[in-house]
Each structure stands twice: as C-alpha cells, then as structure tokens.
Amino acid sequence: MKLLTWRNALRRAAELTGWPLDNGPESELIKNIVEDVSARIVNRTYLHVAKYQVGLASRVQDIHEILDLENGDVRMVGIWGPVGIGKTTIAKAVYNSVAQRFEGSCFLANVREISMSPGGLVRLQNLLISDLLRLRVDGSESLKVPNIDLGISMIKARLGHKKILLILDDVNDLSQLDS
C-alpha cells in the first residue's frame, strides 16, 4: 500500500507544471509558492475517524475503486444505509485518504439538520465557498452568499473549473444536493 502511495505521488509530481515568473520579482513568486504549499499541504487538517476501525479499510478501498481518481472524470458517489452502520465514518476516512489529491476539499457535516434551519442552505453554501476558496467567512477576503440561487451561481462560477472533493454528510433531499 505504501509503495503504491509513493508511486502515485511521484506520478502526480511528474505531471505538475511549473510556475511562470512573468517578469515579476522572484521573491513574489517564492512567496506565492510558499503560501500555496502551506494552504494545500502543511495546514491540512484530517478529520477524526472512529477509534476502533474494524472493517473500515476494505470499505474505503471499495470507494476508492468506485471513485477511480486516476481517470479524472467527475464522480458522484452515495453511501446509503440505516442509521449507525458507519456511513459517516467511511466518508471521513475516504476524505482523509484522498483530499490531498484535489485543488480543494470540503466536508460538510449534518446537511439535513443545518438545511432545515432558517437560512441553513445559504449557510452551507457560505461554508462550502469559504472552505474551497480558503476564504475567511468574517474577514475582508470573504464572499457572502445572499440567497440560494445566487449561491448556486457563485459556486458554479468560482469552482466549476477546479478539481474539488466535496463530501456532503447526512443528505436526505435532492434539493440539498442541487443547492
């Protein structure tokens, strides 16, 4: 498994393109590289997964096969089942194992519960945009989603060209996915 991980990492590294200098100061380029690496790798936070992970590795491997990340296609995978069988645990473990392969990643928990509260879908859209674009929700760099329809447009415009991993936990209605 470790050998396969290293092979995949080296393959991805070989496919990377360089950073253009564009007649700007070299110090500015170095600063941009450091910020990008810090945002993507160094500051990456893993999600807590259950203490006793009995049978988890095989389920995560099954999801990896379905995702087929080497293919590069857009994929949507649903994990369905009764309460308490470990759907969220599997989703967290998959997130932890593949998030670094994407330009951005976001795990939105409790979608059903949050979306039922007033303004909940807009709040989820704000969380999604701020996580994926690495913006502060309350800072000067933030974007503010005013309503669901504009939020959908903002998500498409800002994220439609990026390779992202989005995990929505506890979805129970198609409108939550659409929004």
> For 22-59, what is each residue's pLDDT tens digit?
777 888 878 777 776 665 555 567 888 877 788 889 99
**Residue 120 to residue 109: CA distance in whole angstroms:** 12
pLDDT tens digits in sequence order for the chain, 179 residues long: 778 888 888 887 777 776 676 777 888 878 777 776 665 555 567 888 877 788 889 999 999 999 888 887 888 898 988 988 889 999 999 999 988 888 888 999 999 999 999 999 999 998 888 888 765 444 445 578 889 999 899 888 888 888 889 999 999 999 998 99
DSSP state of 147: S
Inter-residue contact 41 to 99 (CB < 8 Å): no
- 118, 171, 108, 105: which is closest to 148 by C-alpha? 118
What's the pLDDT tens digit per position in 66-78?
Answer: 988 888 788 889 8
**Residue 177 to residue 160: CA distance in whole angstroms:** 15
φ, ψ dihedrals at 120, nearest 5°: -65, -45
Q: Is 20 helix (H, G, I), strand (E, B) or coil?
A: coil
Angstrom distances, CA of residue 143 to CA of 49, 93, 126, 140, 178: 31, 29, 8, 9, 20
**Residue 7 to residue 132: CA distance in whole angstroms:** 27
DSSP state of 48: P
Q: What is the pTM of this model?
A: 0.68
